């Protein structure tokens, strides 16, 4: 910097304006100087979760979806409360594709079963598949993604390639390939369907968990924990994972919806849950042949399905807004 | 740039090999025998079964089977289906229809998704935005087969604007409705992605600087906000091409389109493992190529990648 | 207050009319929690060709006030009172069309962060070109190169064909200055134009900006948090606090004769000025004055608690197609920290100073060399011994928002080190946490709060309490006060100095800010490109720098060139 001294001289006494400048001082009372970092200790402590809850409570999207889901869960747990009809017994072929009559407000299926009862009793298996598959992908994908993100290096490289491979085989396509195998043809039930969905669904959760963990593992508080003597694994479990939960919860909620759709798509194609298991997908499948004459037998299970999925996706959306770290900071 | 493309291309090879290996492993080494499907309930004589096993290389060790299959893929010799037709011929027959359908769906979702997403993003929190958001959620939630039936019923049967099913020659107008149904869910995703991206970019510092430079609003929106928002959207669209081809199975079923999806579906129902494997292999190949396309697009859209 | 705005609104006899006038400006933000007033009763006047600086801490409304002048408030903000008069024209509620006309050609802007203010997907030349085009100026390649080279960008014609990511931070800021001044505006709004840059670059850019605006006769509205910088660069200083103008006047007068209590506190705390003050005090023989913050007992400096010998760190950078190149981040660095004192490592970004800190903390393996802690080389410790070593050396980091786990409340945060090391039972630990909170002057009622409820300074106090929980001997402060507002910074520095004399702590102070070093350090090591270029006692290095680089760093302290009258010092 040879021109240092030159640069210093003209500025050394500040700049002087050719215009008169008045020295103005505001009234001290008007803007009293407050102590720096004064503590405001009123009100209950607000953790991230309680903050999220406060903002969630105000969102109509959340309220609607939460109420709908509550209703769906109650129906799944206690189907008997919502219909006096049996879904499979008392099916009279005489009622085949019949319209609504007293005691049967939604009419009959082609087999002459009560549509309302089918829809009500079908809730449980549809929901079960969604819940179990979500649980599965969160455990498998979450653990793999967290390990990949936290340890990086070759662990990450291998796991990234593996999930790339699974991505090349989209869930429905993969599921279609697998269900036609003799082994699955002979053992079609809720568990095998869940197994198939988890097999092809985990990479997405893994990717999201990996991203979240990657972002947090370099945060100063993780470094601080390590310099306190917290081991790497323990820092992962105690600090990184809890902070990486938000996006995983969001994707899990949305996945729940997509798994229910996936199951019903497979059932719709006739390769999902076996015909004797009551599910919305199976009902839609069996209402297909008589679509032109009795569209309502397809409409009602489809409506139940769509509303449930919509609720999960809306809930996921609302959670994303509430848990978004970007909106959290402000 | 060339180095980047080469690197991405080389990275796709293990993905392709891995995915086909996974596919082959799932189909041919899980319990149960692929010949069972041909022989049906009654079963075959041991001699017939042995010749079938030889025909499909099932008498070889697994690794040998896979390598023979790979060789077949690379020489376009995919073997025959159970009825004795060349699988390569079958795929060549139905492939153009599905490709047409997928490309139409892609154009539909790109155009409408980006336009609606842009306007929703620019009017964040306004009525247009909220409406579009709720509609997109509904579109994502309602399963594609329900949407398909609904639209077939309304436009094909009730209003009779178009044929409810697609004939053999699969003309543009006939494919329009199936293409919209096929692209509908992705349309919602494109819309939401564009919207999020537009909102993020509209708040970016460089957009404020562009405004401060004295640019007109339309120019700021197109040259700075929209242009930058295209990066993630293009990525999604490219990857979606592969997904649309694979996802056509349901749509083709509803509208009775004689395409790849329908062929695959029939093969699944008949348990024709060689046909299933061949078609899915083609789909995996398309997925990989679409991804390469995405990488090129990405490099073209984002100079930071180009020079990496 | 009211008489004042009357005076300002009437053009005085024989004077040109003001270029920009804000009269009783009020700006309100709509948030989820209702309307929040961001600015109230703001008033300022800029005469043609004059430089006016708005000084204030974050959240004081200084940027909001300036941006309102070109209609660049965020979407949820609006002018809710008062008026903005540009060159005699009331533009408070001017049409969008009129504002677009004014932007660029009449009022230009140089934004704060050069990294995020250029569109990454367009070439620099394109971004200059569209500015010229939008304002109806000739925009050939020659014009573009001309504009860029005026801003001090070498090889402008070739540079115009490059993308922003191919530019360094300083070059980007030059490009932004080129854009801001390309249409010869009469007023330039410079929003912290150099705060994201290294100090030496900062000075060059400000000098250049000064020269250009002088030549063009452009008036400048400079927004800054640094009173020293404002006083050095502006004719007039406007001090804002909590959305209000608390004091305004001629730059030097504000500095020498601050009237409002807030301005007085600001003048007392500004590190750049404090460093001048220490110098002035020394020259007047007031060395033992209370003003000196680093007031440790000048007693026995017998042993070195940490000795770093020939430390090197090589990173392998993975290049294209698996080729890797070595990058020497730290190159043969040696220094020591005498017990109970503070050693500062100063350097600009990329100098390797943070890597040194990470190695001393045992978070990064040294490639070569030794780190002796009480004579024991920590680079060779096994896990067990390393665990015990960790109790004795603790870090405090820069970002008060990133250094506390948002899921842990304050009690758990401070208790964690005790629990990890199995110290005491739950009752004694709670007692210890209370003591620690008391030591950092936070009320015990803070214990159940979460980090998101705390201000930046409070968080940094919690981080200090956590670092002290294990009674360490050495605390490593990695830019520990760099992200804080001036007044908060001063308080935290005071706290650190108090704790040092109380507990006999030794500090390794990593910073880019020489002004802070003057206030706290006993010894200074100046790092450049991985090597230590100069080392010595703080006084020696400041009074008698040997290396050109050190001299450049010292000259770059904002306000370093100001000659303050002794009564301020």
* Cross-chain Cβ contact B303/C165 below 8 Å: yes
Shortest CB distance from A46 goes to which of C50, C450, C563? C450
Best residue in C204, C316, C402 to probe A by mutation, most A CBs within 10 Å? C402
Which chains, if any, share at least 3 CB pairs under 8 A with chain B? A, C
Q: What's the 3-state SS for A135-161? A: HHHHHHHHHHHHHHHHHCHHHHHHHHH
CB C228 within 8 A of CB C562: yes
Determine what percent of chain B is predicted with pLDDT higher than 90.
26
Predicted ipTM? 0.82
pTM metric for this prediction: 0.84
Cα–Cα distance between C236 and C251 in angstroms, integer? 5
pLDDT average, residue stretch B173-191: 91
Residue B294, pLDDT > 50, answer: yes
Residues contacting residue C68 through CB under 8 Å, at least 6 positions apart? C22, C25, C27, C39, C77, C79, C84
CB of A124 less than 8 A from some CB of C? no
CB A26 within 8 A of CB C245: yes
CB of A321 less than 8 A from some CB of B? no
pLDDT tens over chain C, length 569 residues: 333 433 444 445 566 789 999 999 999 998 877 888 889 888 899 999 899 999 998 888 899 999 998 889 888 889 999 999 999 899 998 898 999 999 999 999 999 888 899 999 999 999 999 999 999 999 999 999 999 998 888 888 999 999 998 888 889 999 999 999 999 999 999 998 887 778 778 888 888 889 888 888 899 999 998 888 888 889 999 999 988 999 999 988 888 888 999 998 888 887 766 666 666 665 555 444 444 444 444 444 568 889 999 999 998 876 555 567 788 889 999 999 999 899 999 988 888 898 999 999 888 888 989 999 888 888 888 888 888 888 889 999 888 888 899 889 899 999 999 999 988 888 999 999 999 999 888 888 888 888 888 888 889 999 999 999 999 999 999 988 888 888 888 888 889 999 998 888 999 999 988 888 888 889 999 999 899 999 999 888 888 899 989 988 888 887 766 655 544 44
Tokens read off for A78: 């206690």
- A187-233 per-position pLDDT tens digit: 788 888 899 899 888 988 998 899 889 888 888 899 889 888 888 88
* Cross-chain Cβ contact A268/B250 below 8 Å: yes
CA distances (Å), origin C499, targets A35, C259, C423, C439, C479: 21, 32, 22, 8, 18
* Cross-chain Cβ contact C120/B206 below 8 Å: yes
Best residue in A16, A26, A51, A246 to probe C by mutation, most C CBs within 10 Å? A26
Shortest CB distance from C246 goes to which of A26, A41, A227? A26
Residues contacting residue C416 through CB under 8 Å, at least 6 positions apart? A225, A228, A230, C408, C466
CA distances (Å), origin C257, targets A23, C16, C242: 10, 28, 21
Shortest CB distance from A310 goes to which of B34, B141, B264? B141
| Chain A residues touching C8 at Cβ < 8 A | 22
* Cross-chain Cβ contact C113/B206 below 8 Å: no
- A293-326 per-position pLDDT tens digit: 777 888 888 899 999 999 998 898 888 888 765 5
pLDDT at position A13: 57
pLDDT at position A90: 66
* Cross-chain Cβ contact C261/A28 below 8 Å: yes
Residues contacting residue B284 through CB under 8 Å, at least 6 positions apart? A168, A169, B16, B19, B20, B23
CB C114 within 8 A of CB B296: no
* Cross-chain Cβ contact C446/A41 below 8 Å: yes
* Cross-chain Cβ contact B31/A169 below 8 Å: no
Q: What is the mean pLDDT of chain B?
A: 83
CB C92 within 8 A of CB C73: no
Tokens read off for A148: 């990949």
pLDDT at position C3: 38
CB of A295 less than 8 A from some CB of B? yes
- A260-285 per-position pLDDT tens digit: 988 888 888 888 888 888 888 888 88
Which chains, if any, share at least 3 CB pairs under 8 A with chain A? B, C
CA distances (Å), origin A132, targets A143, A145, A177, A185, A259: 16, 19, 21, 20, 9
Say which DSSP state C504 is in: -
- B26-82 per-position pLDDT tens digit: 777 655 555 665 665 556 677 777 776 676 666 777 778 788 888 887 777 777 777
Cα–Cα distance between C199 and C512 in angstroms, integer? 8
Question: Which residues numbered 188-217 in A keep a CB inside 8 Å of some CB on B?
Answer: none
Best residue in A5, A9, A14, A232 to probe C by mutation, most C CBs within 10 Å? A14
* Cross-chain Cβ contact C103/B301 below 8 Å: no
| Better pLDDT: A105 or C540 | C540
| Chain A residues touching C442 at Cβ < 8 A | 39
Residue B307 — very low, low, confident or very high, per pLDDT cuts 50/70/90?
low
CB of C361 less than 8 A from some CB of A? yes
Smallest CA-to-CA distance from A25 within C556, C3, C473 is with C3
| Chain B residues touching A264 at Cβ < 8 A | 143
CB of A220 less than 8 A from some CB of C? yes
| Better pLDDT: A60 or B105 | B105
CA distance A307 to chain C (A): 30
C199-216 vs C548-555: helix axis angle to the nearest 10? 60
| Chain C residues touching A223 at Cβ < 8 A | 363, 395, 397
Say which DSSP state B76 is in: T
- B87-104 per-position pLDDT tens digit: 888 888 888 889 999 999
CB C468 within 8 A of CB C391: no
CB of A60 less than 8 A from some CB of C? no
Say which DSSP state C531 is in: E
Smallest CA-to-CA distance from C529 within C511, C549, C546 is with C549
Cα–Cα distance between C279 and C542 in angstroms, integer? 9
* Cross-chain Cβ contact A261/B250 below 8 Å: no
* Cross-chain Cβ contact B206/C100 below 8 Å: no
Residue B13 — very low, low, confident or very high, per pLDDT cuts 50/70/90?
confident
pLDDT at position B150: 84
Answer left, alpha or beta for residue C321, where phi above 0 means left and psi between -120 and 50 means alpha.
Answer: left
């Amino acid at each position: 910097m040879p021109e240092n001294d030159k640069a210093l001289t003209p500025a050394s006494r500040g700049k002087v304006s050719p215009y008169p400048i008045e020295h103005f001082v505001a009234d001290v009372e008007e803007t009293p100087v407050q102590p720096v970092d004064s503590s405001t200790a009123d009100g209950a402590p607000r953790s991230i979760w309680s903050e999220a809850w406060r903002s969630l409570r105000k969102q109509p999207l959340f309220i609607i979806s939460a109420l709908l889901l509550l209703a769906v869960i109650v129906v799944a747990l206690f189907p008997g409360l919502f219909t006096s009809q049996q879904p499979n017994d008392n099916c009279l072929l005489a009622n085949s594709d019949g319209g609504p009559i007293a005691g049967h407000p939604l009419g009959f299926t082609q087999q002459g079963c009560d549509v309302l009862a089918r829809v009500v009793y079908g809730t449980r298996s549809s929901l079960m598949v969604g819940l179990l598959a979500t649980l599965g992908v969160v455990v498998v994908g979450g653990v793999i993604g967290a390990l990949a993100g936290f340890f990086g290096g070759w662990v990450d490289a291998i796991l990234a390639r593996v999930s790339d491979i699974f991505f090349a085989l989209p869930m429905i396509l993969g599921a279609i390939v697998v269900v036609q195998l003799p082994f699955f043809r002979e053992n079609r039930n809720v568990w095998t369907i869940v197994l198939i969905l988890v097999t092809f669904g985990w990479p997405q959760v893994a990717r999201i968990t990996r991203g979240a963990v990657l972002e947090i593992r370099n945060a100063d508080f993780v470094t601080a924990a390590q310099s306190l003597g917290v081991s790497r694994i323990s820092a992962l479990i105690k600090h990184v994972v809890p902070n990486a939960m938000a996006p995983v919860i969001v994707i899990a909620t949305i996945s729940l919806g997509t798994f229910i759709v996936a199951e019903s798509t497979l059932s719709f194609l006739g390769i999902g849950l076996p015909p004797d298991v009551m599910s919305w997908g199976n009902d839609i499948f069996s209402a297909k042949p008589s679509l032109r004459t009795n569209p309502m037998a397809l409409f009602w299970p489809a409506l139940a399905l769509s509303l449930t999925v919509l609720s999960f996706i809306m809930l996921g959306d609302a959670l994303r807004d509430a848990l978004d770290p970007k909106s959290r900071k402000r | 740039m060339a180095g980047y493309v080469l690197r991405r291309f080389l990275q796709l090879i293990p993905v392709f090999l891995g995915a086909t290996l996974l596919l082959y492993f799932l189909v041919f080494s899980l319990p149960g025998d692929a010949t069972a499907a041909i022989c049906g309930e009654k079963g075959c004589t041991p001699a017939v079964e042995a010749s079938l096993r030889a025909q499909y290389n099932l008498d070889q060790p697994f690794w040998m089977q896979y390598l023979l299959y790979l060789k077949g893929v690379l020489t376009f010799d995919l073997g025959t289906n159970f009825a004795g037709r060349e699988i390569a011929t079958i795929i060549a027959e139905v492939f153009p229809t599905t490709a047409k359908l997928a490309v139409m769906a892609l154009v539909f979702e790109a155009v409408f998704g980006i336009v609606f997403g842009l306007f929703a993003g620019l009017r964040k929190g306004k009525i247009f935005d909220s409406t579009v958001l709720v509609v997109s959620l509904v579109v994502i939630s309602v399963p594609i087969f329900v949407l398909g039936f609904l639209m077939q019923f309304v436009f094909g049967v009730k209003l009779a604007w178009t044929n409810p099913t697609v004939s053999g020659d699969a003309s543009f107008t006939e494919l329009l409705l199936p293409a919209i149904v096929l692209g509908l869910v992705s349309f919602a995703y494109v819309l939401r992605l564009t919207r999020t991206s537009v909102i993020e970019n509209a708040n970016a510092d460089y957009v404020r600087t562009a405004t401060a430079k004295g640019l007109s609003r339309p120019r700021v929106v197109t040259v700075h906000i929209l242009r930058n928002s295209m990066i993630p959207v293009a990525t999604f669209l490219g990857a979606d091409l592969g997904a649309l081809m694979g996802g056509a199975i349901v749509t083709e079923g509803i509208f009775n389109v004689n395409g790849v999806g329908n062929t695959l579906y029939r093969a699944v129902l008949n348990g024709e493992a060689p046909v299933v494997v061949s078609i899915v292999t083609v789909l995996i190949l398309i997925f990989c190529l679409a991804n390469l396309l995405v990488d090129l697009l990405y490099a073209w859209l984002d100079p930071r990648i180009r020079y990496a | 207050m009211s008489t004042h705005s009357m005076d300002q609104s009437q053009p005085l006899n024989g004077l040109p009319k003001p270029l920009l006038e804000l009269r009783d400006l009020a700006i309100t933000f709509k948030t989820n929690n209702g309307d929040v007033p961001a600015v109230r009763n703001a008033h300022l006047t800029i005469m043609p060709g004059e430089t006016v600086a708005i000084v204030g801490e974050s959240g004081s409304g200084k940027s909001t006030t300036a941006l309102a002048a070109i209609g660049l408030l965020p979407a949820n903000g609006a002018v809710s009172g008062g008026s903005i008069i540009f060159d005699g024209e009331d533009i408070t509620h001017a049409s969008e069309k009129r504002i677009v006309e004014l932007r660029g050609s009449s009022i230009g802007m140089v934004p704060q962060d050069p990294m995020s203010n250029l569109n990454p997907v367009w070439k620099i030349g394109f971004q200059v070109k569209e500015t010229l085009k939008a304002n109806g100026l000739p925009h050939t390649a020659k014009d573009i190169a001309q504009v860029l080279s005026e801003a001090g960008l070498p090889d402008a014609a070739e540079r115009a064909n490059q993308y922003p990511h191919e530019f360094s931070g300083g070059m980007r800021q030059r490009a932004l200055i080129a854009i801001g001044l390309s249409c010869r505006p009469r007023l330039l709004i410079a929003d912290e134009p150099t705060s994201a840059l290294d100090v030496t670059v900062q000075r060059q850019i400000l000098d250049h900006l000064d020269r250009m605006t002088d030549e063009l006769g452009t008036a400048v509205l400079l927004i800054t948090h640094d009173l020293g910088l404002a006083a050095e660069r502006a004719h007039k200083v406007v001090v804002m606090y909590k959305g209000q103008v608390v004091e305004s006047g001629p730059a030097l007068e504000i500095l020498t004769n601050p009237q409002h209590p807030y301005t007085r506190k600001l003048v007392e705390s500004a590190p750049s000025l404090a460093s001048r003050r220490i110098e002035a005090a020394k020259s007047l023989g007031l060395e033992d004055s209370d003003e000196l913050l680093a007031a440790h007992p000048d007693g026995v400096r017998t042993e070195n608690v940490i000795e770093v010998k020939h430390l090197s760190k090589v990173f392998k950078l993975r290049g294209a197609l698996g080729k890797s190149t070595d990058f020497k981040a730290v190159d043969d660095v040696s220094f020591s920290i005498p017990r109970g004192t503070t050693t500062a490592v100063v350097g600009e970004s990329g100098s390797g100073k943070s890597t040194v800190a990470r190695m001393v903390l045992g978070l990064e393996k040294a490639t070569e060399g030794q780190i002796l802690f009480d004579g024991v080389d920590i680079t060779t410790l096994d896990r067990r011994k390393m665990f015990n070593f960790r109790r004795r050396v603790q870090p405090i980091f820069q970002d008060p928002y990133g250094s506390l786990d948002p899921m842990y409340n304050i009690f758990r945060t401070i208790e964690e080190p005790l629990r990890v090391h199995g110290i005491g039972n739950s009752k004694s630990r709670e007692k210890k946490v209370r003591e620690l909170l008391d030591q950092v002057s936070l009320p015990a009622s803070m214990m159940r709060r979460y980090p998101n409820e705390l201000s930046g300074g409070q968080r940094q106090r919690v981080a200090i309490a956590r670092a002290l929980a294990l009674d360490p001997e050495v605390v490593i402060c990695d830019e520990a006060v760099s992200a804080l507002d001036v007044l908060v910074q001063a308080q935290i520095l005071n706290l650190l100095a108090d704790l040092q004399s109380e507990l006999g702590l030794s500090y390794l102070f990593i910073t880019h800010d020489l002004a802070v070093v003057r206030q706290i350090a006993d010894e200074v090591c100046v790092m450049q490109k991985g090597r230590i270029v100069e080392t010595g006692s703080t006084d020696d290095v400041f009074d008698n720098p040997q290396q050109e680089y050190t001299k450049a760093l010292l000259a770059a302290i904002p306000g370093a060139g100001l000659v303050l009258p002794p009564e301020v010092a």
